[in-house]
Amino acid sequence: MYEIGEEEVEAVARVIRRKKLFRYGGKEPTECELLEREWAAQFGAAHALAVNSGTSALIVALIGAGIEPGDEVILPGYTFVASAQAILAVGAVPVLAEVDAGLMLDPKDVQAKLTQRTRAIMPVHMLGHVADLEPMLKLANERGVMVIEDACQCVGGSYRGKRAGTWGKTGAYSLNFYKVLSAGEGGMLVTNDKTAWQRGRVQHDTGTAWRDDIGQMQIPLFAGENYRFDELRGAVMRVQLGRLQSILTRLRAARKTLAQRLDGAPGLSFAPVHDPEGVTGAALFLRVENREQALAFHKLAGERGLSTGLPYDSGRHVYTNWEVLLERRGAYHPARDPLHTTEAGRAQRYTKDMLPRTLENLARVVSVGIGLNWSAEEIEKQAEGLRQAAREVQGAPVASK
C-alpha cells in the first residue's frame, strides 16, 4: 500500500454509521457492489468480483475458467507460492516453467512444457512488471488452452495499453497490505466471461444464501466456500481505487527518471522489460553479471541507505523454497491432493534444480524499490548511490537492455 488517509477514515465511518457491514442484501447498491462496478469500468473488464484475498481471487479465476482436477496449469518458478497453491486448491497440477531475463514467465519454455493435459497458462506479473503476453496468448490460442493471469503484484499495470489481468480468460489481483492498493487484505477477480464470473460468485459465497440474484444464474449451484469481501474493506477500496492513477503517475515518473540517470553508467545495465510504459513503477530491475556481483552490489547499496532487494533471496517467491511441491504435500490429506490423486500429479516431478535459467536470471537481478514521493534530489541521491555501488563492484556487468 502506498497511500491511505482521512478519506478512507471517512468511508469506514460512513459504513459504521449505516450499521450495514455485510455486502449482500438491501435495496441500495452496497460498497462492494459499487467497488466491483467501478473496478470493472476502470480496468476495462465486463465483470469484477471482490473477494477476501488474492489467493481466493486466483481460486475463483481458476474455477471460473473451468479448470478441472488433473488439468495441468503452467506457471513460472518465480512467483509467490500462492499461485501454485491456488492451482492445487482446485485439484489441478502446477507445471513449473522458466522465467526470462526480465523475471517473467518465458513463452519459449511454456511451449516446451505444453502437454495433452495442459488446460491453462498462468503468467504472473511480478513487482509491477508485465509478462510477455502476446506470444503467450498466441500459443494458447494455437493449442486451445486458456490464459489465466496472476496480476496480484501488478494492480494498474498494463501491456500494450490494456490492463494486466484483463488479457486472459480470467485475472486475479491481491489487495493485501503489500500491494499497490490495499484494504489490509482482499482480492479481485476480473473477466469478460459471464459464466466464469457466475462460477466465481457461487464459489465465493457459501450456500449463496443471502443473494437475491440466484434466479438469474445461468449455471447450477455447487458447494462453494466463503471468500466474501465486506463493507468496511469495500469502502476503503473504493477510495483506494480513486488513488490509483495518481499513484501510477508518480511511481512511473520516478522510475523513469531514475532509469534515465542510470542509463550508460559504467557497470550498470537494466533487465529487459516487455512494456516499459505499462509497468506500475513499483521497482526497477538492474541486471549484473552473476550472484556474487548482485550480493556485493546489494550490500554496498544498503550501506548507502538505498532500498535494493534480491529476488533470488525472496523466500517463497522462488520455487526452490516451495516445500509443499518439493515434498509433495499439495493438500492437508493425500486423498485431497492432486499430486497423489491424479495421473498428471503423480507424473509431475519437482526438484530444486529443475529451472536452471530461472535461478541464473534471479541471481543476476538487483531490484530497486521506487518511492512514491521521491523528490528530484532523492532520485539524484539514489542514482548517485547506485552508480557508486556499481563502480565498487568488481568486474563490469553485461549490457542486456
Ligand X SMILES: Cc1ncc(COP(=O)(O)O)c(C=O)c1O
Residues that bind ligand X (CB under 6 A): 53-55, 58, 79-80, 82-83, 124, 150, 152-153, 174, 176, 187
Q: Which is nearer to ligand X, 65 or 152 (CB)?
A: 152
Q: What are phi and psi of 159, to 5 degrees?
A: -130, 120
Nearest alpha-carbon partner for 330 in 351, 346, 353, 314: 346
Find the shortest distance in angstroms from Cβ 171 to ligand X: 11
Q: Which is nearer to ligand X, 85 or 269 (CB)?
A: 85
Q: Which is nearer to ligand X, 67 or 258 (CB)?
A: 67
Q: Which is nearer to ligand X, 52 or 118 (CB)?
A: 52
Instruction: Tell me how far apart the alpha carbons of residues 199 and 194 are, in angstroms, rounded to a whole number.
Output: 9
Find the shortest distance in angstroms from Cβ 167 to ligand X: 16
Find the shortest distance in angstroms from Cβ 106 to ligand X: 16
Residue 96 pairs in a beta bridge with: 75
Instruction: Tell me how far apart the alpha carbons of residues 72 and 90 are, in angstroms, rounded to a whole number.
Output: 11
Find the shortest distance in angstroms from Cβ 141 to ligand X: 24
Q: Which is nearer to ligand X, 79 or 308 (CB)?
A: 79
**CB-based closest residue to ligand X:** 54
Instruction: Tell me how far apart the alpha carbons of residues 164 and 155 are, in angstroms, rounded to a whole number.
Output: 8
Q: Which is nearer to ligand X, 331 or 396 (CB)?
A: 331
Instruction: Tell me how far apart the alpha carbons of residues 135 and 2 are, in angstroms, rounded to a whole number.
Output: 32
Find the shortest distance in angstroms from Cβ 316 to ligand X: 9
Q: Which is nearer to ligand X, 155 or 306 (CB)?
A: 155
Find the shortest distance in angstroms from Cβ 264 to ligand X: 32
Q: How far is CA 399 from CA 211, 285, 287, 309, in A?
A: 57, 13, 8, 20
Instruction: Tell me how far apart the alpha carbons of residues 401 and 389 are, in angstroms, rounded to a whole number.
Output: 20
Q: Which is nearer to ligand X, 84 or 306 (CB)?
A: 84
Q: How far is CA 85 from CA 76, 94, 201, 219, 329, in A?
A: 13, 8, 20, 26, 10
Find the shortest distance in angstroms from Cβ 364 to ligand X: 21
* C-alpha grid cell, residue 183: 484494504
Find the shortest distance in angstroms from Cβ 340 to ligand X: 24
Q: What are phi and psi of 287, to 5 degrees?
A: -120, 130
Q: Where are the alpha helices (DSSP H) in 97-230?
A: 107-113, 133-143, 194-203
